[in-house]
Amino acid sequence: MKRLNKCIRVGILLIAVALTACGGAEATPTQNVEALYTSIAETALAYTTQTALALPATPTASATPEFTNTPLVTDTPTATNTPFNLPAPSTATQAACDNSVFLTDVTIPDGSEIAAGSVFVKTWRVRNLGPCTWDEDYYLAFGWGGIDTNWSTVAPILFGNTIVPGEEMEISVTLKAPTVAGNYGATFRLFNDRDYTFGDWLGVYIRVP
Q: Which residues lie closer than 8 Å to 102 by C-beta, 6 or more apart?
A: 124, 125, 126, 199, 200, 201, 202
Short-list 187, 188, 184, 174, CA closest to 207: 184
Rounded mean pLDDT of 5-25? 46
Share of the chain above pLDDT 90, in %: 54
Q: 3-state class of 128 per DSSP?
A: strand
pTM, two decimal places = 0.56
Residue 67 clears pLDDT 90, i.e. is over it? no
Residue 172, amino acid: S
Residue 24 clears pLDDT 50, i.e. is over it? no
Residue 113 clears pLDDT 60, i.e. is over it? yes
Higher pLDDT, 163 or 5: 163
Question: Per-residue confidence at 54, pLDDT binned at 50, 70, 90?
Answer: very low
Sheet holding 168-176, edge to edge: 100-105, 119-128, 168-176
pLDDT at 188: 98
Q: Which residues lie closer than 8 Å to 145 by C-beta, 6 or more apart?
A: 151, 185, 186, 187
Q: 3-state class of 114 per DSSP?
A: coil
